[in-house]
Structure 1
């Protein structure tokens, strides 16, 4: 409890120079909203498993379904969420849709999170 008390300010003072600097450099609201949508999409362990699998190989719904032992409709639902946030993309080959990461940034985000957890 004593450590928590030390983290609190004992006096109210506004550092206007800091506020002005931070306000100028803060990320805009639209970008933060889009970031929140990405984090929301990645907040589901199943979606993280899908991203992890797609880091290793392009896969179709049937493959992902078999890998995760889930129904195809359930996998399709997760894929839709990941697609809407531009985390994954797909290409058609005849009647089959193959899914892959949208770009290398997704792998970097995944790896950075693992690094953070491992520290």
Structure 2
């Protein structure tokens, strides 16, 4: 049995302060918020995007790539993990459309996919510093 206001699995249980007495106090605001909601498939894609980035190792890789493009061995040196581990993380990041690469001979140079990703990484890290 949850106690009002108590935390369960990192989420605070609802207390009487969290519950409105009326079903809809501000119908105009509710309608405006509903109209602004993205469609379900967009929410699913955005959620998957955020889940892929929500890993400390991947975030360190992405932070390094926000400064310059790097090959796997250079990324391994920057984040201090094995090349194999970096390659595994890059596969996930490529599948999530967060990074891309270009080949120069036998070397693949990775970079963030686009400016949106760069902005997301910088904003997340700036927010964490506040």
Q: Same fold (TM over 0.5)?
A: yes
| Cα deviation code 1:29-50 (max 9, x no counterpart) | 1111111111111110010100
Aligned to 2:81: 70
Contact 2:66 2:121 in 1 (8 A): no
C-alpha RMSD of matched pairs (Å) = 1.9
Aligned with 1:56: secondary structure? Answer: coil
Aligned length: 116
TM-score by length of 2: 0.77
Whole-angstrom distance in 2 between the partners of 1:76 and 1:60: 10
Alignment of 1:50-61 (within 5 A): 50-61=61-72
The equivalent position to 1:104 in structure 2, one of 107, 115, 118, is: 115
Q: SS at the partner of 2:111?
A: strand
Return the offset for 1:18. Answer: 4.4
Q: Point out where structure 2 has 5 or more consecutive residues left out of the alignment.
A: 6-14
Select 2:23's aligned residue among 13, 28, 31. Answer: 13
Higher relative contact order (CA 8 A, sep 6+): 1
